[in-house]
Amino acid sequence: MKKVAVILGSDSDLPVAERAFGVLRSLRVPFAAHVMSAHRTPDAVASFARGARDAGFGAIIALAGKAAHLAGVVAAHTRLPVIGVPVKAPDLGGLDALLSTVQMPSGVPVATVAIDGAANAAWLAARILAVEDGALAAMLEVNAVKRSACCLLVDKEEIGSVGATGMQSRFFENSLAELMAAAGVSGEIALRRALAGSKMLSSDVSSAYDPLYASAFDKKNVAYLGGGLVLNKFTGARGKSGSNDANAEYLAELRAMFDKHRVRFQTAELGRVDLGGGGTIAYIMSLYGMQVIDCGVAVSSMHAPWEVTSKVDVYEVTKGYKAFLREA
């Protein structure tokens, strides 16, 4: 997931910025905060804005008061969407900051929220990121859920999910233990029961059928572009290592959810069983005893410099995630 940059014109803007931090934390949206001034450190502002996209940011929130030129200066040096937050000052009650932020010349757009409206700025930034992130979009669009829900983002899946940011770390387990302790439920057995009682969609991509390499696929058990969300019950490599063990009852439950919400889906394996293959992190989470299956979008030419997906599939995956959050 891309990050949100929050730039404060002064450290005195921090109390207002905290409202944005709270929203972003509640949505599990990664963010980074920086203090830099359009007037005192203009070169630093311009340098940060120019490099923001390459640094993994997808949106920028800029807070400033009085002569609030920060958002405009940032917007002049980046093509990322910039959201301006006018900060109230004693003299004019924030009206000066509002007019400075909203009155931008053509071609240098700044989406401006209300005076001290940092919370709405964070909501807007999250919605911008959700355009390209199906899991986040589903989290934003589903309000009423039967169970506590989360979107867990991990790293290093291609090299074994190792390290402090990989799924083999104890981060998720420890975080759940902390939440349960804060709710007055503690103890090893309670944690184990919570993990075993959980349900998960391990969201990644699946290899789509490639007619140029037809021999690498089983045509009757492969994902096709435009076929909808892909469920990969069968994972592993060369028929000799790696596995995911989603049971028939869990698959039936998922199929019923998708049918109820009119989600188009398909089942597949990652390449012919006796050739290459792989999987994502489902096999790790299944060690807790939870119900989990690999799923996601079909990708043509996976791992090539230029990959292709169908936006129909991205749409169906988002629908599937929303159905899962509502029904699981």
CA 177 to chain centroid: 23
Is 312 strand, coil or helix? Answer: helix
Within this chain, do residues 125 and 142 fall inside the same structural domain, yes or no? no
Each residue of 129-186: pLDDT tens digit? Answer: 988 777 777 777 777 777 888 888 888 877 778 888 888 888 999 999 998 998 888 8
Domain's final residue, options 60, 95, 130:
130
**Domain tally for the chain?**
2
Within this chain, do residues 179 and 307 fall inside the same structural domain, yes or no? yes
Within this chain, do residues 209 and 168 fall inside the same structural domain, yes or no? yes
Within this chain, do residues 174 and 277 fall inside the same structural domain, yes or no? yes
Each residue of 203-249: pLDDT tens digit? Answer: 888 889 999 888 888 888 899 999 999 998 776 665 555 666 688 89
Determine what percent of the chain is predicted with pLDDT higher than 90: 60
For 142-165, the three-class secondary structure string (H helix, E strand, C coil) is CCCCCCCCCCCCCCCHHHCCCCCC
Within this chain, do residues 215 and 147 fall inside the same structural domain, yes or no? yes
Each residue of 50-84: pLDDT tens digit? Answer: 999 999 999 999 999 988 999 999 999 999 999 99
Within this chain, do residues 118 and 159 fall inside the same structural domain, yes or no? no
- Within 13 Å, how many C-alpha atoms sit on residue 191's CB side? 15
Q: What is the CATH number of the domain that holds 227?
A: 3.40.630.10
Within this chain, do residues 82 and 152 fall inside the same structural domain, yes or no? no
- Within 13 Å, how many C-alpha atoms sit on residue 153's CB side? 11
- Within 13 Å, how many C-alpha atoms sit on residue 272's CB side? 10
Domain ranges, residue 192: 134-327
Q: Beta partners for 295? A: 203, 231
